[in-house]
Amino acid sequence: MGRKAKFDGTPVPTGRGRKAKKQGDPTFPKGVLVKEEKTLSHRQKQRARKRSLKQQSLKENIKKLKEEKRVKAKDIVNESIVKDASKQLKKTKKKKKSPEPVPLENGSVSDESEEMQLDEDSVASDAEGVVESRKQRTKKKLVDSDVESDVTDSDEEDSDAPDDEDKDADGTDDDDLLPIEKANKKLKRKQEKERKLAEEEMTDMMSQEFDFNFPTEEELADAGNLKDVQQRMKDVVMILSDFKRLRDANRSRSEYLDLLRKDLCTYYSYNNFLMERLIQIFPLDELLEFLEASEVQRPMTLRTNTLKTRRRDLAEALINRGVNLDPIGKWTKIGLVVYSSQVPMGATPEYLAGHYILQGASSFLPVMALEPKENERILDMCAAPGGKSSHVAALMKNTGVLFANDMNEDRVKAVVGNFHRLGIVNSVISTYDGRKLPSVIKGFDRVLLDAPCTGTGVVSKDPSVKTNKDEVDIQRCSTLQRELLLAAIDCANARSESGGVVVYSTCSILPEENEWVVDYALRKRDVKLVPTGLEFGTEGFTSYRQHRFHPSLKLTKRFYPHVHNMDGFFVAKLKKFSNIVRKKKDAEEESLE
């Protein structure tokens, strides 16, 4: 407390007042400055004493056991030495008895008797060497047995195995290994033996039970019974998987393949050309899985419009309307998969308000690989109907400029409608031919090209692909895709601080429309493939039949219906390093070299 104020003008005395209290020295709680040693209770001391007594008794028991083992080892060694010595003596007795030395006239011994005595001495010395070596071996074995006392009984059974089995592939003995390594080796040998026996039994069973008769022309013409066709397909696939053993000696592999192709075309309603291409792409077991998965519709998926809502709020609203849904997976934070719905998903108030758009799960992937940033200039060359473009605009958060282009004017109307509904305001919509865009506008930070293709990855959506595609269609699409990809690379700006990126994608699984096109672009432009950043998917092809592509094509990603439960898709991400376009003469000279 301070002094009381005086307002009559008299000076206030300085110093401590009458009622003021002097502050004492600071005090700290126990254990803050000095750590006191923890004292044990009486019960804890008793337990500690018991533990120490137990440990001492265990150590004494272990010492006693070791001493007993050493005594036994010495006894066994002595017995083995005695046995070996007796055996060696018996062997020497069985040999021809040496004749008594014949004295000569001068009192010396004959040379023959001297030789026999030398032979006996050498035999005795050899016997002593054998005894010593046997003694060392027995000691070594006894030491190993002491170490391996804790190994399982299976090791004891295998101890009688021949010496050749106790050696590695390098020829080293098991004696140099640790006991746990020995046990592991013996277990592996047992497993290999069991596996070989199981394989032999399976092959014997299959050879006895499996009996395939090649169908006649009448049976092939009768395609009404699909069960017979299905069983025949499975049998042919089994024969081709082990052709050397299960084949008919009078039939070639090409005949079996032709039969399988005809049955597959009959059962799944494909034309011969497309089925041949699929057989070349997939192994036979995987081919059947792909064809089965292509017959099933993919689950309905939708993408949350992050410009207007969050996925959690959208899911709650749709669940209240009787929609059964779940997140697509850990790889996306904006996708939902719909299992069943009591209301049409394209007419809910949330859909009309632009909170979501119906979009396939595979269509998320190219935009995720593109990785658009805010305040960038981005081009989508084939934008209709606007699913990927709206996704790009949402990631840009309505900043920068998005150019959505599509050649078909009728399809552009769908882009306009979706953009208005989703609330996208940073877009410019155009209807140019994508191949001519470099002459109209350039300098984009990022370019997305979802090229038109044959649609062999979306057979479940469009079953007409099975029958209406041939060699001419694939060649036409491949040529168009090459031109579009070169134009997309020319539109990108290599000097962009954040971009210079081109993403190429198709909904086809044919290498002619995917790896072949990207490999062509790598040779014609100064670009390189970079990782897509996608967490899943299979690697692209670096070789296809007689063709060999650039090794970096393994950085591309392929997606299949039977593996990833989404439409067949291909995604490649390119990085541009120079805006200079090489002339045709230079490119031709390089190709000739």
Just list the catalytic residues.
507
Strand, coil or helix: 146? helix
Tokens of 429: 């919509």
Q: Which amino acid is at 78?
A: N
Strand, coil or helix: 527? strand
Please tell me the distance from the alpha carbon of residue 155 to that of residue 181, in angstroms, as a whole number: 11
Q: Using an 8 Å Cβ cutoff, are 453 and 565 in contact?
A: no
- H or E element at residue 406: none
Give the residue carrying structure tokens 């047995």. 145
Please tell me the distance from the alpha carbon of residue 391 to that of residue 427, in angstroms, as a whole number: 12
Please tell me the distance from the alpha carbon of residue 333 to that of residue 127, in angstroms, as a whole number: 83
- H or E element at residue 18: none
Tokens of 524: 């014609």
Q: Using an 8 Å Cβ cutoff, are 335 and 361 in contact?
A: yes
Please tell me the distance from the alpha carbon of residue 587 to that of residue 581, in angstroms, as a whole number: 10
Instruction: Calculate ∠ Cα 367-527-454, nearest 5°.
Output: 55
**Nearest C-alpha neighbor of 273 from the set 283, 285, 265, 263:** 265
Tokens of 190: 């047992």
| Integer CA distances (angstroms), 516 to 76, 574, 592, in order | 76, 14, 19
Strand, coil or helix: 504? strand
**Nearest C-alpha neighbor of 215 from the set 187, 248, 240, 182:** 248
Please tell me the distance from the alpha carbon of residue 148 to that of residue 152, in angstroms, as a whole number: 9
Half-sphere exposure of 247 (CA within 13 A, CB side): 14
Q: DSSP code of 60?
A: H
Q: Using an 8 Å Cβ cutoff, are 491 and 438 in contact?
A: yes
Please tell me the distance from the alpha carbon of residue 373 to that of residue 381, in angstroms, as a whole number: 18
Question: What is the C-alpha end-to-end distance of the chain, expressed in Å?
Answer: 99
Please tell me the distance from the alpha carbon of residue 245 to that of residue 258, in angstroms, as a whole number: 19
**Nearest C-alpha neighbor of 279 from the set 267, 293, 265, 266:** 265
Please tell me the distance from the alpha carbon of residue 72 to that of residue 74, in angstroms, as a whole number: 5
Beta strands in 431-526, from DSSP E residues, in sequence order: 446-450, 501-506
